[in-house]
Chain A
Amino acid sequence: ETGVTQTPRHLVMGMTNKKSLKCEQHLGHNAMYWYKQSAKKPLELMFVYSLEERVENNSVPSRFSPECPNSSHLFLHLHTLQPEDSALYLCASSQDIGEETQYFGPGTRLLVL
């Protein structure tokens, strides 16, 4: 248990569906992150939030839409995804931006059909 939870753990969706991934951290951290992990590829940083403000958006397609309503919760809204978006989506948090240690959630394994 790292203090970061994600739901759902597994998700199968069609290309026309809309779904949301949820992340919650119980550590009192100020920074939260979304990463994408595809098979045999490096972790890709998607979005970074600091104190509920987005500070990084790594050229992610608009079919991925993040939302950070408060410093404990982070969502990733998904719509009209492609099969190549199938991957493990990991949420992480750290005390502040630039803090050396990030704590990862267990991830949501997403399959797009």
Chain B
Amino acid sequence: GQNIDQPTEMTATEGAIVQINCTYQTSGFNGLFWYQQHAGEAPTFLSYNVLDGLEEKGRFSSFLSRSKGYSYLLLKELQMKDSASYLCAVKSDTGGFKTIFGAGTRLFVKA
């Protein structure tokens, strides 16, 4: 079956670093996404990893280990506007085109 796990909620302090983990069990793995979704708004694309390793993009970095079925999103120098849900999603090419989303991690950034 297809399964994606990520923590439901996390809290961190402004200026700090937070790591949001995602583990997955899927067949036909073909890449992993992270999306950010503010309350009441559309998800917006943050990153896409298909090879093992760390991809850095400004304050946000995403890591993938295909052998371990594991990814994390690292947010540095947290700002209040980073309070949002972060969705981990896996692209699978088994049984046709599919992008499978996790339930999301709601991040609260406090002053």
Mark A residues whose CB is within 8 Å of B: 2, 4, 40-45, 48, 55-56, 90, 97-98, 100-107
Contact = CB atoms under 8 A, between A and B. Distances in A.
Indicate the size class of the contact surface on chain B: 20 to 34
B4 A4 contact: no
Contacts of A101: 45, 48
* Majority secondary structure of chain A interface residues (helix, strand, loop or mixed): loop
Nearest to A1: B42
B96 interface: yes
Interface stretch (B12-20, B55-63, B70-78, B100-108): B100-108
A2 B45 CA distance: 10
Given A56-B97, A102-B99, A43 B42 contact: no
A104 B98 CA distance: 16
> Which 4 interchain pairs have the tightest Cβ spacing?
A104-B42, A43-B101, A100-B48, A42-B101
Nearest to A44: B101
Contact of A97 (B8, B50, B87, B97): B97
